[in-house]
Amino acid sequence: MDSVNILLTISATFNLGLGFYIYIQRKKNPVNVAFSLITLSIFSWTIAMIAYRWSGTYLSALWWCRILYFFPVFIAPSLLYFSLVFQRIEVKIKKSEIFLIYLFPFIIGALSFVPNFIINNVVLRHGAEKEIYFGAGYPIYFVFYFVYFSWTFYNFLKKLSQADILGKKQMRWVILATFTPVTAGLVTNLILPWGFIFSYNWIAQVSTIFFIAGIAYAIVKYQLLNIKLIVAQIISLFLISILFINIFSFDSSWRLMVNLGVFLLGLIFSATLIRSVINEMNQKEEIQDLAGNLKKANDELKKLDEIKSEFISIASHQLRTPLSAIKGYAAMLLDDVQDSEEKEALNKIYLSNERLIKLVNDLLNLSRIERGKLEFIFKSCQLADLLESVVSEFQMIAKRRGLKLTYEKVNLPFITADEDKLRQVFLNIIDNAIKYTLKGSVTVKTLLDNDSIVVAIQDTGVGMKPGDQKPVYEKFQRGKTSAVVNPDGTGIGLYIANKITEAHHGRIWSESSGINLGTTFYVKLPLTNDKLSSWA
């Protein structure tokens, strides 16, 4: 096979591979169908050119010459159809209109088999391209192409003027990729042969590679198709084409069997390669679909979480006013009532209301943390005085539960902190220590650790399992033992305490030897923090 036929084989393979791939993507899409018809017509035309150039007898050359001028007539209506449906025009083309678009070219193509009308004769020349003598109907053949191609490019230019930014980019590449082989075909296959210049009659088929190159660029640039599968199919089709042609180059029956065997192995290899690429592409698409679904679900969950936080914030704000009123009236009644039973009942009302106020405050802080709106005012404060004040608030509650609550106060240096927020941290921890200690004591200690202060709240309560110590700092998480002792807990107090401590560049953790062996909570805060000071 000469170098020209090799180039023609490559061109045919590229066209057939791209056309087949585009067709299988969306078989019912008019754009895909039209483009596949274009590439199939080019493939058939190119194969006819290979056979025509390869033919060595007068009759075979004449026959293949007529076939050579039959197949390209379908390129023009396919291009026209493609120009009408490209970029999804709203008006659908009727089947009757499509029939008419292809009817006239078919008639023109059929006329090439009429003796002496379009193709008159073919003359074989040794070492040169064959000569073709055209008949009286050749001008009709030429005008047909000129009209159809002009109509096609008119549609392309019209769509270019109406397209959006991305559509204009795609349209420009389609026009450029189409214009090159169309121009080459008109010149080298219609005009030059009419003037008895046949040396370049194969260039039009090879120039269709530019058609492939233009589409391939659009594929890579604008991610229109899967380039990996196209490459695999093109390589496979090229290999099969070469091996198929190689079948006929034999000088014995044994050589023929070898060529057939190699061709079959090439088919198996090509099918395996394409299947593996398709499987990889399908898996990638499935992963992308899953990722898209997960992203969509995550976005919906974020919206729901925002709605939930907003609801909590609004509801908590609405609850604060009546709860504050109840607290005030309950305190006034406690001062006036002398009867012990009435006083006990009012005291229960007061304590329950206090728990509700604490819950509302925790919910407000939770919603602020989730929305990133928990504000801090850092300033210099004395941690020893803050702890003493918090412990004093719980002395009455601890006494009623029969517990000993002590604070081993020592002199401490000043720290930079938000005093109100730190108060919430220790209120939550000491409240939990009292709540989950059935008998014994709760002790609050402080110690200096290099450049930090460590506050230890130690109780003799229900303790924790080793696996329960880390999760208790997560939202709505509680230790299993704690949930049994006090099923009414919300699991957000320690979460808020941990977030506040982290905002102070501190750390909170707990230690417990096991069930019923007590728990010690530690809060470590830096003595100096320039970053926090700048916020005050």
pLDDT bin (cut points 50, 70, 90) of residue 339 is: confident
Residue 250 pLDDT: 67
* 218-242 per-position pLDDT tens digit: 544 544 455 565 566 666 666 776 7
Residue range 259-271: mean pLDDT, rounded: 82
Token readout for 174 is 């389609």
Residue 519 pLDDT: 92
* 87-121 per-position pLDDT tens digit: 554 557 788 888 888 999 999 999 999 998 999 99
Cα–Cα distance, 259 to 240 (Å, whole number): 12
* 21-43 per-position pLDDT tens digit: 667 766 677 777 887 888 888 88
Cα–Cα distance, 490 to 106 (Å, whole number): 81
130: Cα within 13 Å, side-chain hemisphere: 25
Note the Cα 411 to chain centre separation in Å.
58
Residue 223 pLDDT: 46
Neighbours of 4 (CB within 10 A): 16
Q: Give me the residues paired with residue 455 across strands.
A: 446, 523
The pTM of this model reads 0.44
Q: Give me the residues paired with residue 454 across strands.
A: 447, 524
Token readout for 182 is 């169309």
Whether the per-residue pLDDT at 533 is higher than 50: the answer is no
